[in-house]
Amino acid sequence: MQGKAMRQAEEDDGGVSRFNTGTVRRQQTAADKGNVETTQTDHQLASVPPASTRGRRNNMKSGTQDQAEGKFHKAKGKLKEIAGKLFVTPELEAEGKDENRAGKVQEKTGQVKKVFGK
């Protein structure tokens, strides 16, 4: 009896039920659909892709990815270079310059790959 009362109290909250997993499911009330109650699955509500397609996808072309990574390394190198100058750390400044140059090379590599369609 106690479980039924608890479930009733949860469902009285606007037709939205909360379960232990934290997922929220919308149930149609009798007024919504003529005495028929249905429960949508988590995949329908959250539009989560099936487990077989979940995860990080790499849809970026090789040239575009090289360009993006090159820009990232250029920015990271510039920040290290500035930090090295600011804190008077020649090793960090040199590391930043090296990373900045490597980023420029990687970005140019990506541009060349784009031109040749690789």
Measured distance CA(56)–CA(100) in Å, rounded? 27
- pTM exceeding 0.75: no
- Return the residue matching tokens 């040239």: 63
Q: For residue range 27-83, list pLDDT tens digits in order.
A: 555 555 555 555 555 445 556 555 555 566 668 889 999 999 999 999 999 999 999
For the chain, give every domain's residue range. 2-48, 62-116
Mean predicted lDDT score pLDDT of the chain: 74
Question: Can you say how many angstroms the Cα of residue 62 is from the centroid of all Cα atoms in its chain?
Answer: 20
| Residue 49, burial from CB neighbour count under 10 angstroms (0-12, 13-18, 19+) | exposed
Measured distance CA(113)–CA(66) in Å, rounded? 9
Q: Classify 27 in phi/psi space as left (phi over 0), alpha (psi -120 to 50) or beta.
A: beta
Q: Which residues lie across from 18 on neighbouring strands? A: 24
Residue 27 near residue 18 (C-beta atoms within 8 A): no
CA-based nearest residue to 70, from 31, 27, 104, 36: 104
Q: What does the pLDDT read at residue 74?
A: 97
- Segment 14-37 shows an average pLDDT of 51
